Structures are given as structure tokens and as C-alpha cells.
Amino acid sequence: MFEASQDSNADDEHDPEGSTIAYERAQLTAVLAATRRRLADLDEALTRLESGAYGICERCGLPIPADRLAIRPFARTCVTCT
């Protein structure tokens, strides 16, 4: 992604045009980490679907409402147990 610019000697700390490359890199790193977490959550939801546990609250054992699953298909708990 941004590995190609890691060895660059660009002096972005004194650029009056705006944010630094380091700042933008930090933002991209955070977005990438959040995306990886979301993919892991979705993979876990698929595993629960295959095992028959999808849509069941992991705390109270009651069904998770369809509205919640429509918004957060990776939800592991009902709203009450969240």
C-alpha cells in the first residue's frame, strides 16, 4: 500500500500545504487495522452461521433481533447484553 514511500527522503514536516506524510500514514494504518478487525468479525459470523449459532446472543442465549443483525451482521450479543 504505502510501503513504496517508506524509503523516501521527502521532507514533509515543513510542507505548508497541509498534513504530513507521517500523519497520513498513521491514518491509513488505523483504517487498515479497523478493516482487518471487521473482516475477522465477519469471518467469525460465517463460522457461527455454519455451526447454527448465528443470530443467538452469546450471553443470554436469546435470538438477536433481525434489525440488529441487518445493521451489524457480525453482532454476537443482543442489545440488552451489549
Rounded CA-CA distance 66/1 in Å is 37
Domain ranges of the chain: 3-53
* Entry pTM: 0.69
Rounded CA-CA distance 53/67 in Å is 17
Give the pLDDT confidence score for residue 15 in this predicted structure.
60
Give the pLDDT confidence score for residue 23 in this predicted structure.
86
Following DSSP, what letter does each residue of 25-70 receive, concatenated? Answer: HHHHHHHHHHHHHHHHHHHHHHHHHHHT-TTB-TTT-PBPPHHHHH
**Quick one: average pLDDT of 28-43?**
97
Rounded CA-CA distance 68/26 in Å is 32
